[in-house]
A and B are shown apart, each in its own frame.
Chain A
Amino acid sequence: MWRLVSELLGRGEVVVKSVRRRYLALRVECEDSCDGKAVSDAVWDSVLRLFGEVGSSQAGLFLVHFEEGTNYAVLRCSHRALPMVRAAIASVTKIGNKPAAIHVLRVSGSLKALSKKVATKKEKLQESGECEQPPNEG
Chain B
Amino acid sequence: MKFSDLHLRVPLNDMQQTRKMIEKSSALGYSQIGVPLPFSVKQDAIDRLRHGSEEFGVDFVTRLDLAPKSSGELLGSLRRFRRKFEVVSVLCGSKPLARQAAKDRRVDLLSFHTVEPRKRFFDWAEAELASKSSAALEIDMAQILSLEGFFRVRLFSCLRREVATAKSFGVPVVISSGSTDALLLRKPQDFASLAFVFDMDVSLALEALSKNPVGIVERNRVKESPAYVAPGVRIVREGRSRGQVC
Contact = CB atoms under 8 A, between A and B. Distances in A.
Interface of A: 29, 31, 49-50, 83-84, 86-87, 89-91, 93, 99-101, 103-104, 130
A86 B183 contact: no
Contacts of B194: 86-87, 90-91
A101 B193 contact: no
- In the complex, which of the residues B146, B189, B197, B202 has the most CB atoms of chain A within 10 Å of its own CB atom? B197
A93 B148 CA distance: 11
B196 A101 contact: no
A104 B187 contact: yes
B193 A103 contact: no
B146 A101 contact: no
A100 B183 CA distance: 6
Contacts of A93: 145-146, 183-184
Contacts of B193: 83, 86-87, 89-90, 104
Contact of B196 (A49, A84, A99, A103): A84
Contacts of A84: 196
A29 B183 contact: yes
Contacts of A130: 27
Contacts of A86: 190, 193-194, 196
Given A50-B197, A93-B146, A103 B186 contact: yes
B188 to A, nearest CB: 11
B185 A101 contact: yes
Contacts of A50: 197
A20 B146 CA distance: 33
A99 B145 contact: no
B39 interface: no
Contacts of B181: 99
B191 interface: yes
B196 A83 contact: yes
Contacts of A101: 183-186
A86 B27 CA distance: 19
B15 interface: no
Contact of A87 (B28, B184, B185, B197): B197
A91 B194 CA distance: 7
B67 interface: no
A76 B148 CA distance: 26
Contacts of A29: 183
B197 A99 contact: no
Contact of B190 (A49, A99, A100, A104): A104
B144 interface: yes
A50 B153 CA distance: 9
A104 B196 contact: no
B191 A90 contact: yes
A50 B148 CA distance: 10
A104 B145 CA distance: 16
A67 B189 CA distance: 23
A33 to B, nearest CB: 15
